[in-house]
Amino acid sequence: MAVSTCDSKKTFSRRSILAGALGGLGWSSLARADEVAQQVRKDAPIARKEPLKITKLETFLVKPRWLFLKVHTNAGIVGLGEPILEGRALTCAEAVKEIESYLIGKDPRQVVHHWQAIYRHAFYRGGPILTSALSGIDMALWDIKGKALGVPIYELLGGPTRTRIRVYAHAGTPERIKELAAKGFTAFKTGPAKHRPSRYVETPAEVHYAAEKFAELRQAAGDDVDIAIDFHGAISPALAKVLIKALEPYHPMFIEEPVQCQNHDIMAEIARGTHLPIATGERVFTKWGFREVLEKKAATILQPDLSHSSSKRDTSTCRPGPAWGSSSTKMRWPTRSATIGRTASFMMRMTVRWWIGKRYR
């Protein structure tokens, strides 16, 4: 760990003074007080009022497509984030670099202030690249704040609402479903089976093929487990309507991105045409993007990705309720990102009650 000015100041921190005062009670008390002080330092390496400044932002490109961020501070506390947009890792790294000059010398604990400054004070707001870069920075600043205070981030978001997190696994064949079910999985996700890239309007044979393959998964899994299906936004609206009708008898858990995910009007039209839950969100950015999804009733399951959605705190406010026009919306974090993004989303899941599942890998 780097030695810093704050390390030397810690010698005279309120905690160490308190420990010293307790030590006056006797040698055994002194030893105990020192032990307590050490533990406090371990949990919260810097006192709340001690200065803390960002000194450097460092990105790491990991092939084939990952980008990680380290935000360094003068106290040796390092925050980790994942500012990634699939296929645009280098672009995101440059975007982070362009934001670095604003952050250097700032107190990283003012997480929301920095989010506002970076997002609102730019001439152009939002967009996948900027919100993904900002997501990684936001993640890293929350990480520093949690480490500085000595608490997990879910404590800063209101504390845990659960002790367990349900996960689902990908499975495309009956054999794979049985194999994973034997390991304890009770939820799965798959994609539509097809012989070729989908046409705008498909033949009855192709539609039947997709439905039959899903039916095979349902038969292998039984009715006590959940199987979701992800159209990846790659199906035309006309075909999506037909395909959803063919799948309805087999009760998919939800239909994910049934059509191009940024066309919320079309998605709302699809949602009105089926009783199956519609899911979207891994390509929706900021809380305003999710507001549009909810106001248009385009989906009842939200899937924010913390590596894209831009703000951990704002994402936690994308909650269902009368004000949003939907009382049945559920949250699910898909996390197409890697380790750090997934850890961040686990922190979010700990604090959100109306949550239904997380991708296993």
Nearer to Mg ion, 79 or 341 (CB): 341
Nearer to Mg ion, 152 or 172 (CB): 172
Nearer to Mg ion, 29 or 274 (CB): 274
Residue 141 exposure: Cα atoms within 13 Å on the Cβ side: 26
Report residue 133 CA to chain centroid gap.
Answer: 14
Nearer to Mg ion, 37 or 169 (CB): 169
Q: Whole-number minimum distance, CB 147 to Mg ion, in Å?
A: 32
At 10, is the secondary structure helix, strand, or coil?
A: helix
Number of separate helices (H) and strands (E) present in the chain: 14, 11
The residue among 171, 167, 96, 109 whose CA lies nearest residue 143 is 109
The residue among 129, 123, 101, 124 whose CA lies nearest residue 114 is 101
Nearer to Mg ion, 206 or 230 (CB): 230
Nearer to Mg ion, 141 or 255 (CB): 255
Distance CA 130, CA 91 (A): 10
Nearer to Mg ion, 45 or 281 (CB): 281
H or E segment at 95? helix 89-103
Burial of 9 (0-12, 13-18, 19+ CB in 10 A): middle
Q: Whole-number minimum distance, CB 359 to Mg ion, in Å?
A: 9
Q: Whole-number minimum distance, CB 127 to Mg ion, in Å?
A: 20
**Distance separating the N- and C-terminal Cα atoms of the chain:** 32
Order the strands of the 66-73 sheet from edge to edge. 54-62, 66-73, 78-81
DSSP 228: E
Nearer to Mg ion, 115 or 254 (CB): 254
Nearer to Mg ion, 82 or 230 (CB): 230
DSSP 80: E
Q: Whole-number minimum distance, CB 312 to Mg ion, in Å?
A: 20
The answer to whether the Cα torsion of 351, 185, 340, 4 is positive or negative is: positive
Q: Which residue has the tokens 């947009």?
A: 85
CB atoms within 10 A of CB 248: 14
* CA distances from residue 168 to 130, 160, 217, 359 in whole angstroms, order as listed: 30, 21, 15, 5
Q: Whole-number minimum distance, CB 191 to Mg ion, in Å?
A: 9
Q: Whole-number minimum distance, CB 133 to Mg ion, in Å?
A: 22
Q: Which residue has the tokens 């990952």?
A: 66
Q: Whole-number minimum distance, CB 9 to Mg ion, in Å?
A: 48
Task: Return residues touching Mg ion (CB under 5 A).
Answer: 230
CB-based closest residue to Mg ion: 230
Q: Whole-number minimum distance, CB 259 to Mg ion, in Å?
A: 13
* CB contact at 8 A, 255 and 231: yes
Q: How many residues are listed for the chain in this entry?
A: 361
Q: Whole-number minimum distance, CB 221 to Mg ion, in Å?
A: 20
Nearer to Mg ion, 74 or 303 (CB): 303
Q: Whole-number minimum distance, CB 230 to Mg ion, in Å?
A: 4
